[in-house]
Amino acid sequence: MNRSFEKVAGPFNSNLGGILWYENTLLFSLMDELLLQQWQPTTNSINTFRAYTGRMNGMALAKDGSIFVCQEGGRRIIQLQPNGSANVTATRFEGLIHNHPYDLSIDSKNRVWFSDPHSGTQAFGPQIFPPLSHASIMRLEKDQIGHWTIRRMSFDTESPKAITLSNDEKTLYVAENPTSVATNRELRAYPILSNGELGKYRVLHSFGHDEKGIHGGIHGLCKDTSGNIYACAGDSISSMQPAIYIFSNEGNLMEGIPFPHGTPLRATFSNDNLKVLYVTSSDRCIYKVRF
């Protein structure tokens, strides 16, 4: 089926970060301007949802209506409450500040799974806290007295980026994007074991490299109600065409929708029976495509 992308907003004077469908509106982060913006589809208007956001990246909606956000500029995960307040979760793992969180997913137990890669962009404030020696999948959860704690979940990742949980929460999908040309970028499926730990991963898709360099891997992930995975992948530099790649939850490539507007970065469905997919792009615009 021939699908076309329609621009709904932009271009903006900032790179785009996280994106989230929220109460019939679209939230999106202007990373460089430190703003979380809100687009109203009924009026085609944009207002500021939160300011001074500290370069917000991945976002996810919790069951209580709060929004958990990867605050890349602060090297922390924060929780935005519906009343306008914000809570800081745990920031230290084994006594050290963790890296630059990129993406997250919340399970039914209100545990926050997040990718914690290294980043060339410096965090705010004095550069006195070195990064961790590893870039891992981490998990925020509360202890018996209600304090947030961090657990390291992966021990075989070099640069995890986009993540999402399967609908039954038995699998964590991870986009592993190493920078070395000797190592392929991959879409991995980690089984979540009965004890809550991650098992050995399966590679659902490997992106490879050629004479133009390493292929652009996955930048953003989301899924539909059937559990199919929608991946923003590719780039304009290598020979791999930028596209929205649709995988079944078993990892079969079902469809590739060419994306002609730069590199697709992140995607989220609206909640009207998941018929509209919104996509942010490297050209600093937001597009939609209908299913």
The residue behind tokens 């890296």 is 99
Number of domains present in the structure of the chain: 1
Q: Is residue 231 part of a domain?
A: no
Structure tokens at 211: 């004479």
Q: Is residue 179 part of a domain?
A: yes
**Percent of the chain having pLDDT more than 70?**
97
Q: Is residue 267 part of a domain?
A: no
- 18-73 residue pLDDT tens: 999 999 999 999 999 999 999 999 999 999 999 999 899 999 999 999 999 999 88
pLDDT tier for residue 127 given thresholds of 50, 70 and 90 = confident
pLDDT number for residue 250: 84
Q: Is residue 98 part of a domain?
A: yes
Q: Is residue 95 part of a domain?
A: yes
Is residue 91 within 8 Å of residue 98, measured between CB atoms?
yes
Q: Is residue 126 part of a domain?
A: yes
pLDDT number for residue 209: 80
Q: How many residues does the chain have?
A: 291
pLDDT number for residue 272: 67
- 206-250 residue pLDDT tens: 988 877 777 889 999 999 989 999 999 988 777 678 999 999 988
- 8-31 residue pLDDT tens: 999 999 999 999 999 999 999 999
Q: Is residue 25 part of a domain?
A: yes
Average confidence score pLDDT of the chain: 92
CATH of the domain at 141: 2.120.10.30
Say which residue, 272 or 147, is predicted with more confidence: 147
pLDDT tier for residue 155 given thresholds of 50, 70 and 90 = very high
Q: Report residue 285 CA to chain centroid gap.
A: 17
Q: How far is CA 172 from CA 75, 163, 198, 263, in A?
A: 22, 7, 8, 24
Q: In what order do the strands lie in the sheet with 86-88?
A: 56-61, 67-71, 76-80, 86-88
The pLDDT of residue 121 is above 90: no
Q: Is residue 203 part of a domain?
A: yes
CA atoms within 13 A on the CB side of 167: 10
Measured CA to CA, the distance from residue 155 to residue 134 in angstroms comes to 8
**Residue 216 DSSP code:** P
Structural domain that includes position 189: 6-218
The pLDDT of residue 273 is above 70: no
pLDDT number for residue 239: 66
pLDDT number for residue 125: 67
- 171-202 residue pLDDT tens: 999 999 988 777 889 999 999 999 999 999 99
